[in-house]
Structure 1
Amino acid sequence: MASRAAQALGLPHNPPESARLARRKDLARARLRAAGVPVPEFRVVDLIRPVVPQCAGLDFPVVVKPLMLSGSRGVIRADDGPALEAACRRLHAILEQEKDAAPGERTRALVERYLPGVEVAVEGMLSGGRMETLALFDKPDPLEGPFFEETYYVTPSRLPRTVQERIRRRTAQACAAYGLCEGPVHAELRVDGAQAWILEVAARTIGGHCARLLRFGTGLGLEELVLAHAVGRALESRAGAGAAGVLMIPIPRAGALRRVEGVLAAQRVPGVEEVEISVREGYELVPLPEGSSYLGFIFARGPEPAVVEQALRQAHACLRVVTAPLWKIAAG
């Protein structure tokens, strides 16, 4: 919708079809493959029918993904046939609650070969088809399943410069394949040896409070960057010294939140700038793969990435999440 509105107003924009590709995982995979960008072997399956026969020839382990959800919601690893059928049943139950899903998005899913390797995130800004990298984040926690909850983001990356450049080139290649040419992009990749694999490229900024880290990488706020691009104004980036990171505090279990203990101790950890608990007491906590939010965020800075990561881990260890059972009463 935003792409069509910008098109009608004569503003810089991505073609509506490109924006659609960035939203739909199945269409994106097919476009990348057609453009010669390496993609894992995949199938688009009908969740109403048995899934294993539809994935004949696809080696395990595999990852089941919804066509359009974000934030790792509904993404499940399966190591064999029974696990694949169970994962698809669970995803189907999630999708049935998505009232705004387009036709077919509640009954179909992407199943693709699991990709080993380290995971990274790229924040970029496109202008006339040229991508400027704003930040490259390491994700130091191994994301191996069965669910893929993002936790730590640390910048600058500790990967070798040659690998970082490979990541940037692959992200730009994917943007070109989609036809994206203007505005912010958020990309997720896995790096395995000499290969950088695209997990997704979204035509949007980094989500939620994590956008604060862009100020460290560029010296500019997210809103400044997006608005400056929209009006065609060039801004000079001023990368900060040292390193910065965020922990998206995971939800440990389902239930009603009673309290989070240890926040003051976490805030006193050297290097920690802020501990923010986003969920209010009494609210329901829903972990992945059904959930779509975090308990809160911890922000830290330090002289180097390893120090920042350690500060975040130490602060997280201070927290104790107290929950109570949630009793749901059916209407009628």
Structure 2
Amino acid sequence: MSPRVMLVLPTATYRATAFLRAAEGLGLQCVVASDEAPTLAGLMEGRVLTLNLGSFDEAAERAAAFAERWPVDAVVGVDEASVLAAAHIAARLGVGGNPVDAVAATRDKRRMRSLLADAAVRQPSFMEIRGDAEGSAAAHAAAAVGLPCVVKPVDLAASRGVIRANTAAELTAAIARVDALLRRPELCGPDDNPPLLIEEFVPGPEIAVEGLLSDGALTVLAVFDKPDPLEGPFFAETLYTTPSRRLPAVLDSAVAATRAALQALGLRDGPIHAELRLAAGGPVFLEAAARSIGGRCSSALRFLAGGVEMTLEEVLLRHACAMPLDNPRLAPGGAGVLMLPVPAAGILRAVSGVEESSAVSGVTGVEVTIPLGQTVEPLPEGDRYLGFVIARGPDPGFVEAALRQAQALIHIEVE
């Protein structure tokens, strides 16, 4: 009988379709564990499980009760909002996965910074403060970490709530703005004064490392360049291209820093996505996630293993289910993704140029992921991209040019 894998995913994730297709292609039995039951759940016995992804112990116990009837061989959290619930479930079921504490450290930037500091991993200087509407901690924070600096929530992802401040006055305003974001009903936690991090701003280009851990050993699947400078004041990511065009020695140093950071965090098994800045004195580690790259970005990637071409999701499911996976490596050529940021707050009225951008040489897909008529909000308060453009070609330079050409053809109207 084929392995049964439990995919733990929020209803709103971008990643469900890619993982489900990969599971089907591999002949796996698949259980979708989500926070909402599908319409036909009654006809899908043994294939769906409704969980409260925010109540980890409860989710683990419900999964254990499910597994008594339908044994589960692997558990995969498909994105940031589900990795911690997946870690608790995997631990409760006794299947492979990362230690719960290690995954929890990736979801709390305070804990991450502390562990990296203990292991002497080079990272931005930082301090924790408590948010307040007046930003009264700004002067102390500026003196502690210097200016410019960055304000960020401890538990949000995708640059949400991340703001650069160049002066003490800007820092005061940034603290107040992030504090207001964290007091929104959908984000408000039990803490009356939500914690924030104030971090040194590290100049230099940014890269991302996509990898796979097996018994603590890291296999680098891809290194992405981010060709657009991420200088702030907000940090919407746009272009990712791979393979990296940085010098081999620079990349070797970045991968070594990544390995040290993952070891410090205690991550042992499964996908990782890490972010680093290439500073003048060497790589500076920003953060790591116990999951693969988000959004639709994975659709740009193809890997070769044992002479077989496969998607990133196929690589991850083969690993999770202990299926044959012979030294996966990035397929030849260049690949990249353009994430379309929301340009302004309001109602999304029109997106034009999709057909024209789809016709650009090298572009393999253009998808607008927010329906017209919906309210949209840009970073730092927003949490979604407008859509994704995927490209492949002979090399990353070709791919970057194709994505920039496609971007110039897309026009967005927000009322």
Tell me if TM exceeds 0.5. Answer: yes
Matched-pair identity in %: 44
1:72 aligns with 2:159: yes
Aligned-partner Cα distance in 2 for 1:66–1:148: 13
Normalised by the length of structure 1, the TM-score is: 0.93
Aligned to 2:356: 265
Aligned to 1:117: 204
Aligned to 1:330: none
Compared CA separation, residues 54 and 194, structure 1 to 2 (3 A): closer
Aligned to 2:320: 230
Aligned-partner Cα distance in 2 for 1:225–1:159: 25
Offset, 1:220? 2.1
1:165 aligns with 2:256: no
Aligned to 2:412: 321
Aligned to 1:203: 290
Offset, 1:193? 2.6
Offset, 1:61? 0.1
Deviates more, 1:174-183 or 1:55-64: 55-64
Aligned to 2:277: 190
User: What are structure 1's unaligned runs of at least 5 residues?
Assistant: 325-332
Offset, 1:102? 4.7
2:339 partner letter: M
Aligned-partner Cα distance in 2 for 1:3–1:234: 23
Aligned-partner Cα distance in 2 for 1:101–1:202: 22
Q: CA RMSD in A?
A: 1.7
Offset, 1:100? 5.5
* Aligned partner (choices 110, 113, 138) of residue 29 of structure 1: 113
C-alpha contact 1:214 1:221 (8 A) present in aligned 2: yes
C-alpha contact 1:246 1:312 (8 A) present in aligned 2: yes
1:154 aligns with 2:245: no
Deviates more, 1:161-170 or 1:76-85: 161-170
1:320 partner letter: H
Secondary structure of the equivalent of 1:208?
Answer: coil
Aligned-partner Cα distance in 2 for 1:92–1:19: 25
Aligned to 1:329: none
Compared CA separation, residues 191 and 98, structure 1 to 2 (3 A): farther
Offset, 1:319? 1.1
Offset, 1:108? 1.3
1:144-174 CA distance string (max 9 Å, x none)? 0000011001000000111111111111110
1:164-218 CA distance string (max 9 Å, x none)? 1111111111010001001111111101134111111011111121111332577
1:204-254 CA distance string (max 9 Å, x none)? 111121111332577322332222222222313253221011100111111
Deviates more, 1:2-11 or 1:153-162: 2-11
Deviates more, 1:150-159 or 1:275-284: 275-284
C-alpha contact 1:68 1:105 (8 A) present in aligned 2: no
Aligned to 1:2: 86
Aligned-partner Cα distance in 1 for 2:185–2:397: 40
1:230 partner letter: A
Aligned-partner Cα distance in 2 for 1:105–1:242: 51
Aligned-partner Cα distance in 2 for 1:105–1:247: 38
* Aligned partner (choices 374, 380, 400) of residue 283 of structure 1: 374
Aligned-partner Cα distance in 2 for 1:193–1:284: 41
Offset, 1:255? 1.4
C-alpha contact 2:222 2:330 (8 A) present in aligned 1: no
C-alpha contact 1:94 1:290 (8 A) present in aligned 2: yes
C-alpha contact 1:135 1:217 (8 A) present in aligned 2: no
C-alpha contact 2:300 2:392 (8 A) present in aligned 1: no
Compared CA separation, residues 217 and 23, structure 1 to 2 (3 A): farther
Compared CA separation, residues 19 and 101, structure 1 to 2 (3 A): farther
> For 1:58-137, what aligned pairs fall within 5 Å after superposition?
58-97=145-184, 99=186, 102-104=189-191, 107-137=194-224
1:51 aligns with 2:137: yes
Aligned-partner Cα distance in 1 for 2:304–2:188: 35
1:73-130 CA distance string (max 9 Å, x none)? 0000000111001001110111112546654496210001100011011111111000
C-alpha contact 2:212 2:271 (8 A) present in aligned 1: yes
1:304 aligns with 2:395: yes
Offset, 1:273? 1.2
2:128 partner letter: V
